Structure 1
Amino acid sequence: MTGKLLTVEGLTAGYGAAPVLHDVDLTVHQGEIVAVLGANGAGKTTLLRTLSGLVTATAGRIALDGQDLRGVRVERMVHRGIAHVPEGRGVVTELTVDENLRLGGLWRRDRADARRALDEVYQLFPVLAQRRDGAGHQLSGGERQMLALGRALVGRPRLLLLDEPSLGLAPRITAQILALLRDLRDRTGLAVLLVEQNVRSALSVADRGVVLSLGHVVTRNTAADLRDDTALRHAYLGF
């Protein structure tokens, strides 16, 4: 783990006049996986949507490498090095696998490296290479999750915001995706802010965890310490 990449201080955000997040502080270092945990309605998805610019923060600071991100347009976030894979995977079902992946690199000026990034994604996910000319609607749920993740990786992000990657997937596919995150962290220094309904799986891959309850941070600690805190697990994490 190296320097601090993402800094969030005093973040308040929500929809309309009703805030969902209240004075949230967190950090993510380069090469670190941080799990955001909590019950349904805790504000986990709103946090990722605010960091990616889909929800406007009403107070606080969001910075990547010290550069303020508040007010940056959603479509410019990827230029800053942030990729957001939302819950539900967001594949363009009418396009082929290859066309979906190329969308992730359309903005990049270094066309040669964009092609290399595309080839690397096909190496990471051989099943996508086998289906590269097939339409998105022909893919299984697990393959769509791989495609959404691969499209984000084509943009060579420094920070990946990943929302509920295991939703609706078989445990074997979930384990494969989480193992890939660990490998990318170790090989490339990718930082990941992970929202995951399966708390055990999230803590098995994360370095640290942040627990939200009703939009407030109730604790933050190493993944190992969160796993071992029986009272906390029973109160906020459901196991």
Structure 2
Amino acid sequence: MSAPLLRVENLTAGYGPVPVLHEVSFEVPAGTIAAIVGSNGAGKTTLLRALSGTLPAIQGSITVGGTPLLGVPTENLVRHGVAHVPEGRGVIGELTVDENLRLGGLWRKDRAGTTRAVAEMYEMFEPLARRRTSSGNQLSGGERQMLAIGRALVARPSLLLLDEPSLGLAPRIVDRIMAVLRDLRDRSGLTVVLVEQNAHSALPIADQAIVLSLGRITVATSAAELALDSDFRTAYLGF
């Protein structure tokens, strides 16, 4: 297995003086998908917010490609190869699909590279190609999620942080999004940290499964192994 791209050590974070995450430590090898699973209130979204800098950490360290990122302003993380798609599909509703996608490459100096990346997103997410002049407000929930992921990918990240991409979407749209993530890992070596309550969708495409319970890692194992452990799935994942 390749060297870790993401290394998290003793990460404690929360809202105000009360920690939600308690000394969380794990590694994600480059070119793999890590599924962060667990029940509601386990701390999954808090973990992604701490990794992306939108929630200050109380203690611990976060490194990506050997570079310490704790305390780096969120808007600068893209320059270190990190892109975050938060829960809720952060699309700018007043802008068109094309304008939203191009925002993903705003920090890049090569306009031709941005244009190529946008074209690739239209190939990857065909429904967006048919809606490129539509505003974000006119899109369905599934189209908005594709657009949010596509905009993050235009930045050419090495690490994609993805929070609950299946939330509220039809199963066929979820399948499409998961297939794209698996293809990006296999073709381009993208590393993904995928937070999902829907373990049915996340585990089949993941390499590694990290189970959170009450802000602590209960187990970190291969996704295939966790999928086969019926007792553990029933106790922690509800299926």
For 1:46-61, what aligned pairs fall within 5 Å after superposition? 46-61=46-61
CA positional deviation for 1:231: 2.0
> Structure 2: any 5+ residue segments left out of the alignment?
none
- Cα offset for 1:230? 2.0
**CA displacement at 1:111 relative to structure 2:** 1.8
Letter in 2 for 1:62: I
Partner Cα separation in structure 1 for residue 139 and residue 101 of structure 2: 14
Q: Tell me which residue corresponds to 2:18.
A: 18
Q: Secondary structure at the match of 2:9?
A: strand
In structure 1, the residue matched to 2:137 is 137
Give 1:126 deviation, angstroms.
1.8
CA RMSD of aligned residues (A): 0.8
**Aligned residue for 1:227?**
227
Aligned residue identity for 1:238: G
Shift of 1:229: 1.5
CA distance in 1, matches of 2:232, 2:126: 40
TM-score, normalised by the number of residues in structure 1: 0.98
SS for the counterpart of 1:156 is: coil
- AA aligned to 2:193 is L
Partner in structure 2 of residue 72 of structure 1: 72
Which amino acid letter does the alignment assign opposite residue 30 of structure 1? A
Q: Which moved more, 1:215-224 or 1:108-117?
A: 108-117
Deviation of 1:235 (Å): 1.2
Structure 1 unpaired stretches of 5+:
none
**Which deviations, in whole Å up to 9, do the C-alpha atoms of 1:113-167 show, x marking residues without a partner?**
1111111111111211111111111101100000000000000000000011011
Amino acid at match of 2:128: L
Q: Which residue of 1 aligns with 2:27?
A: 27
Alignment of 1:177 with 2:214, yes or no, is no
Please identify runs of 4+ aligned residues in structure 1 that moved more than 2 A: none
User: Distance in 2 between the 1:119 and 1:3 partners?
Assistant: 31
Structure-2 residue corresponding to 1:153: 153
**One-letter amino acid matched to 1:110:** D
| Percentage of pairs with the same residue | 63
1:178 and 1:93 map into 2 onto residues whose CA distance is 24
Amino acid at match of 1:79: R
Secondary structure in structure 1 of the residue aligned to 2:232: helix
Q: In 1, distance between residues paired with 2:10 and 2:209?
A: 18
The whole-number CA distance in structure 2 between the counterparts of 1:2 and 1:138 is 42
Does residue 62 in structure 1 map to residue 62 in structure 2? Answer: yes
- Cα distance between partner residues in 2 of 1:117 and 1:103: 11
TM-score of the pair, normalised by structure 2: 0.98
Distance in 1, matches of 2:22 and 2:170, equals 34
Q: Which residue of 1 aligns with 2:167?
A: 167
- Distance in 1, matches of 2:135 and 2:227, equals 41
Indicate the residue corresponding to 1:191 in structure 2: 191
Q: What is the identity, as a one-letter code, of the residue corresponding to 1:51?
A: L
**Aligned partners of 1:115 and 1:134: how far apart in 2?**
18
Distance in 1 separating the partners of 2:112 and 2:133: 21
The residue aligned with 1:216 is 216
